[in-house]
Amino acid sequence: MMNCWAGLRRRAFGAVLGAACLLVGCGGGASRVAFVPLRLIVLGDETSVLNSDGSKYSVNALNAVDNSLLDCKGNPLWVQLLASAYGLTFSECPNGTAPVTALIFAVAGAQVSGTDGIAAQIDRVGGFVEKDLVTVLAGANDIFAQYALIKSGSQPEGSCTEPPNTTCTGAMAVVHATGEALAAQVNHIADLGGKVLISTVPDLGLTPFARSEEALTPGRAATLSLLTKEFNVRLRLNIINDGRRIGLLLIDETVQAVVKTPLSYGLVNVKDAVCIAGLAPTECTTLTLVTAPPLFPPASASNYLWANDRLFSSSGHALLGNLAYSRSSNNPF
């Protein structure tokens, strides 16, 4: 998605140049200085992980000269798009001699709690300052874990009563509590001084994994959607919604819209994985994409929504990256 990358870079110059400009509020209200982060801190799971060798849990781009080498700048992750918009650099994908100003604490496979959970990642950061922009995306692994228990028969799906006095049972109770737990960690980051972009979890009932489960047992996709919805609702209801310290990214609603009208987003496939089956999540490259039956236009990371059965291709990352930049540049941090 290099066009999206370039577009974000162009807008970034305007954002950086405008950092010293005063933006006047409506009706002659108080002025404020546009927020431009000096550091990007990335928390969450594999959707936000860029490995030390430049590999991603998505479709990896290859060097144009030597296809045995990865091009870390190609097919950027959503956090790369956001960093680039503000001229920030990851050590995992260096920009010449530019200083490292974007830091990844996200861990592949991480759940909201646990050894590599969000609280542990916050501790590893070691503190936040006023010009830190912190991204958080987690919860999908928690939802998939509960789904696996439902499928094995060791956990009932459960249900939740209607608000305001909501009580839940079974797996629904677990994801309900997990959404609240993530909200508490997001609020904690804000209290510590970081400016937070928190993303909802994409609707996991729309993943290729959910489609394959649905083919075997009707109703499974709906279960994944319900679990995702309960998690996201509890997250949204419990973050500090003062419009100042925390910006919310509704990728769940965006994915739902994309699946309804994919062509309007320039996508030809929103149901299947673009990577061939059987690869480890970081092994998919632009040379290991589906080719049979003959496809026109050819399958690519930019016209398929999903890389594998659970994770975004670069088109999905572009959607989330655009949401993140729009929110960070418009939120009155």
Examine the pLDDT at 150 and tell me if it is beyond 70.
Answer: yes
Examine the pLDDT at 29 and tell me if it is beyond 80.
Answer: no
User: pLDDT digit string (tens) for 55-94?
Assistant: 999 999 999 888 888 999 999 999 999 999 999 999 999 9
Examine the pLDDT at 144 and tell me if it is beyond 70.
Answer: yes
Mean per-residue pLDDT, 233-261: 95
Q: What is the pLDDT of residue 15?
A: 39
CATH 3.40.50.1110 fits 37-260+311-330, yes or no: yes
pTM of the model: 0.89
Percentage of residues of the chain with pLDDT beyond 70: 90
Query: Mean pLDDT in the chain?
Result: 90
Mean per-residue pLDDT, 43-62: 97
Examine the pLDDT at 195 and tell me if it is beyond 50.
Answer: yes
Examine the pLDDT at 14 and tell me if it is beyond 70.
Answer: no
Examine the pLDDT at 13 and tell me if it is beyond 90.
Answer: no
* Cα-based distances in Å from 142 to 16, 149, 165: 37, 11, 24
Q: What is the pLDDT of residue 32?
A: 61
Give the highest mean pLDDT range of 32-41, 59-68, 315-324.
Answer: 315-324
Domain parsing of the chain, residue ranges:
37-260+311-330
Burial degree of 22 (CB within 10 A; 0-12, 13-18, 19+):
exposed
